[in-house]
Structure 1
Amino acid sequence: MLEKFMMKDHKDAYRRFRESGLEECVIVQTCNRVELFGKASEADYSGIIRAWSEATGLDGGAFGAMETGEDAEAIRHLLDLVSGLDSMVVGEEQVLGQVRESIASAKDAGASGMHLNTLFDRAARVGTRIRNVTGLGKEGVSVGSMAVRLAEENVNDLKSKGVLVIGTGEVATLVAKSLARRGYSFSVASRTLQRAAAFCEAVGGDPVRFEDVLANFGRYDVSFVATTAPFFLVAYDAVAALSPVSGMMILDLSNPRAVDERIAHIPGVKLMNLDQIGEMVERNMKDRASKAEAIQGTISGEVSALEASMRRLEAEPLVNETFRIIEEIRARELAKAVQMIGDADPRTVRIMEDMSRAVLEGMASTPMNNIRRASEHGDTDVLEAAARIFDYDTQQ
């Protein structure tokens, strides 16, 4: 199950991945995906799996079905993701925000660097532009709204039913917003009544005590359970004791699952989880295909541009260090010249300053831009020659 691969302590996981040989890394972890983007001189998958195994407690053999991609394939996957094409629901609205949060978290942890920061920031802008141009996601489709649609399709006259949302996190917020937009009344339970009340004030719904919900679960015809609890909040025995006649529906949107799966076998109860939302995804495939066809050309162009940008970045340390050394020389020689003049007025010093900078830029810009272009085209021979010419240590 997906939740087994999830990393609870991202800082610890980032430390392990960096120790495995990744120079930069970003964890993208949502309710229906766990992905790792990394930058390294050489891909050491065994080391990465070992670090992932240590971070989750899983045996290394559990990663046998892990999908991998490098360079253009990895870039395309990220662009498909932010554009809404590689989501459980085409155009899924929260994915772009989740990717932004992932790179922000990686930056805070010091795990990402120049390459992945550039890649993710550019990808987020591309995703936003594609969505704006194509209208992809304008319907506001999300896991939360899809769950509400499932309830509407499976429960007659939902507006007359008792509806409950357990949780106050991201997915619970999406469910509550979707319910509120459709005009449904619903109750909200969380770990504390105060937390539920604050949630309801911001999103909608009526707060209820969590203890009351567990004691009177039978009064709710539809329950959306969206928590991060590491145990079953809704237990088999508790629901079986209710002896529901018909019509009770429970949608477990939690990761890990918070509803005992055996409940699905209780007569009169319909239990659905994140995996089963795939049934509605199938109906979404036709729209997905038409949207994808219109977007793939744009994404292909962006993949090429981003690949070039990533290669170009390889030259930046050399270029920046060279400019730094040249600037030091310019400033030092300018100071000597000003001292030799003795009583140079501010205007004269400013003219000398501007002239020295213009000479520096005029002489250095062309070779530095040529080095960048060589890097962009993958010409490592030129980069190595430039490093020797400018006495630059490529290992620093």
Structure 2
Amino acid sequence: MQLALVGLSHKTAPVEIRERLAFSNDALRSALTSLVDRRRVNEAMILSTCNRVEVVAESPDDRLIRDFICEFHQISHDSVSTHLYSYRNVEAIRHVFRVTASLDSMVIGEPQILGQVKEAFRIAMDAGTVGMHLSALMNRAFAVAKKVRSETGISQSAVSVSYAAVELARKIFGDLSGKTVMIIGASKMGELAAKHLRRAGASSVLVTNRTFERAVELAKVFEGAAVPFEHFTDHMTGADIVITSTGAPHFIIGRNLAEQVIHRRKNKPIFFIDIAVPRDIDPAVNQIDNAFLYDIDDLQQVIDANLKERFKEAMRAEQIVDDEVEAFCLKMQTRDVVPTIVQLRDSLEKVRRDEIERNRRHLKDLSPDQQAAVDQITKSIVNKILHPPIEQLKQMAHDPQGADLADLIRKIFNVKPQ
């Protein structure tokens, strides 16, 4: 197996370069077909997301892929060459495993990349550009990603504001089922936090906004209820989690209001998430018993601490990838070499038998013992011829160049790969 991978990502190229080299879903199949129609490209797959574009192929030369990318997008080599990276064989395998396991993502451990890689593989399968080698590589990559997630905590800690809100809510309430969320101000971040809380078990959502129509519109998304902004304080008693993001120039929830709400709730806990800048909630609210207030900086501190934990887990994940790369390479190299040995033996044995049959009339006067001796002598000659190349193949079975040697020996002895 000879692998070549060429790509660029958020680490090597700004968005204006990434978008110029991106492949739309409609263009992927034709792009894949065009690539494998090229000489010396046997299999291919393209991963194209907002953060990366990568082409992996069963091919001996990554320059073929660079040429294809530039020609397909009608862009000069010079304008993208500094942004592109290339990997061959073992390093290409390692990169595929790391990407699929979310170790190369903008946010390490994020779950979306695995689904994106699976979709890219499905499209390549449908296009008929995946064969034995890429199929083996990608199926192993999916298994490695699963192993990384199950054996490390790389995806467990919240690293976004919305997920951090869910994590903190669980610490305060434990089970979120039956809890009510109130959104004050219909910002995108507040909506996202509410969505994650809803998925985590929160049962109902109240929405209020200075523009009531927007509150009604957002409430429909959550199958919740819209509350007029001028009356939102009357409804806070029924809310367990309050998310604010109004953009008001002053506090909309002060200590006195929060104390009244806690009193009406009979001291049941309430979780305030203030993601507005300027802040919507007076920091003094945090001094009230059973009132838990987190602003955007507090949430960022949680995220930063969790990121440190993810990086620790990523080190464990990298070791898993290293071990899996070694095991996969060993398997693939053996798979390339062992069939060559078998095919080589079979090929030369056929030549030996054919020559004996072709000269059978010259051997008819030989006794059975003499004919058996001829048979044994020719077998011995074949074995002596085969011994050096087979020994070299066995020694190279675990070497990255083993596949190249197997290919060379097949050419020398005119053995066709099966």
Deviation at 1:132, TM superposition (A): 0.6
Partner of 2:97: 79
Where does 1:32-43 land on structure 2 (aligned, <5 Å)? 32-43=51-62
Residues 150 and 32 of structure 1, relative CA distance in 2, 3 Å threshold: farther
Deviations along 1:76-124, whole A, 9 cap, x unmatched? 2222223232212221122222222222221221122211111111111
- 2: CA distance between counterparts of 1:51 and 1:186? 53
- 2: CA distance between counterparts of 1:321 and 1:174? 61
Partner of 1:97: 115
Deviates further, 49-58 or 82-91: 49-58
Where does 1:1-396 land on structure 2 (aligned, <5 Å)? 1=15, 2-8=18-24, 9-20=27-38, 21-44=40-63, 47-64=64-81, 65-139=83-157, 146=160, 148=162, 159-162=183-186, 176=195, 180-181=199-200, 183=202, 185=205, 205=222, 246=247, 285-315=307-337, 318=340, 374-377=396-399, 378-379=401-402, 383=406, 387=410, 391-393=414-416
Given that 1:79 and 1:126 are in contact with CA atoms closer than 8 Å, whether structure 2 keeps it comes out as: yes
Deviation at 1:388, TM superposition (A): 6.6
Given that 2:183 and 2:206 are in contact with CA atoms closer than 8 Å, whether structure 1 keeps it comes out as: no
Given that 2:337 and 2:403 are in contact with CA atoms closer than 8 Å, whether structure 1 keeps it comes out as: no
Given that 1:13 and 1:52 are in contact with CA atoms closer than 8 Å, whether structure 2 keeps it comes out as: no
2:88 is paired with a residue whose SS is: coil
2:103 is paired with a residue whose SS is: coil
Given that 1:375 and 1:383 are in contact with CA atoms closer than 8 Å, whether structure 2 keeps it comes out as: no
1:159 is paired with a residue whose SS is: strand
- 2: CA distance between counterparts of 1:40 and 1:186? 57
Gaps in structure 2 of 5+ consecutive residues:
1-14, 167-180, 208-216, 225-245, 250-276, 279-299, 351-388
Given that 1:24 and 1:40 are in contact with CA atoms closer than 8 Å, whether structure 2 keeps it comes out as: yes
- 2: CA distance between counterparts of 1:287 and 1:310? 35
2:62 is paired with a residue whose SS is: coil
Percent of paired sites with the same residue: 23
- 2: CA distance between counterparts of 1:381 and 1:81? 27
- 2: CA distance between counterparts of 1:279 and 1:59? 44
Partner of 1:240: none
**What TM-score comes out, normalization by structure 1 length?**
0.52
Deviations along 1:313-372, whole A, 9 cap, x unmatched? 43477478679999x9xxxxxxxxxxxxxxxxxxxxxxxxxxxxxxxxxxxxxx999967
Given that 1:115 and 1:313 are in contact with CA atoms closer than 8 Å, whether structure 2 keeps it comes out as: no
Which residue type is aligned with residue 130 of structure 2? S
- 2: CA distance between counterparts of 1:175 and 1:49? 44
Residues 3 and 52 of structure 1, relative CA distance in 2, 3 Å threshold: same
Residues 316 and 43 of structure 1, relative CA distance in 2, 3 Å threshold: farther
Deviation at 1:30, TM superposition (A): 2.4
- 1: CA distance between counterparts of 2:341 and 2:71? 38
Deviations along 1:257-315, whole A, 9 cap, x unmatched? xxxxxxxxxx99xxxxxxxxx99987654223211222332222212122223323434
Deviations along 1:144-169, whole A, 9 cap, x unmatched? xx3635999xxxx972222569xxxx
Deviation at 1:11, TM superposition (A): 0.9
Deviates further, 108-117 or 383-392: 383-392
- 1: CA distance between counterparts of 2:54 and 2:336? 24
Residues 382 and 5 of structure 1, relative CA distance in 2, 3 Å threshold: closer
- 2: CA distance between counterparts of 1:132 and 1:95? 16
Deviations along 1:210-255, whole A, 9 cap, x unmatched? xxxxxxxxxxxxxxxxxxxxxxxxxxxxxxxxxxx9369xxxxxxx
- 2: CA distance between counterparts of 1:303 and 1:138? 24
- 2: CA distance between counterparts of 1:175 and 1:68? 42
- 1: CA distance between counterparts of 2:183 and 2:346? 68
- 1: CA distance between counterparts of 2:405 and 2:415? 13
Which residue type is aligned with residue 148 of structure 1? S
2:46 is paired with a residue whose SS is: strand
- 1: CA distance between counterparts of 2:148 and 2:73? 35
Partner of 2:354: none
Given that 1:82 and 1:95 are in contact with CA atoms closer than 8 Å, whether structure 2 keeps it comes out as: yes
Residues 41 and 160 of structure 1, relative CA distance in 2, 3 Å threshold: same
1:304 is paired with a residue whose SS is: helix
Given that 1:312 and 1:373 are in contact with CA atoms closer than 8 Å, whether structure 2 keeps it comes out as: no
Gaps in structure 1 of 5+ consecutive residues:
166-171, 188-196, 208-244, 249-266, 269-277, 329-366
**What TM-score comes out, normalization by structure 2 length?**
0.50
1:297 is paired with a residue whose SS is: helix
**Once superposed, what is the RMSD of the aligned Cα atoms?**
4.9
Residues 37 and 176 of structure 1, relative CA distance in 2, 3 Å threshold: farther
1:35 is paired with a residue whose SS is: strand
Which residue type is aligned with residue 96 of structure 1? L
Which residue type is aligned with residue 30 of structure 2? D
Given that 1:163 and 1:186 are in contact with CA atoms closer than 8 Å, whether structure 2 keeps it comes out as: no
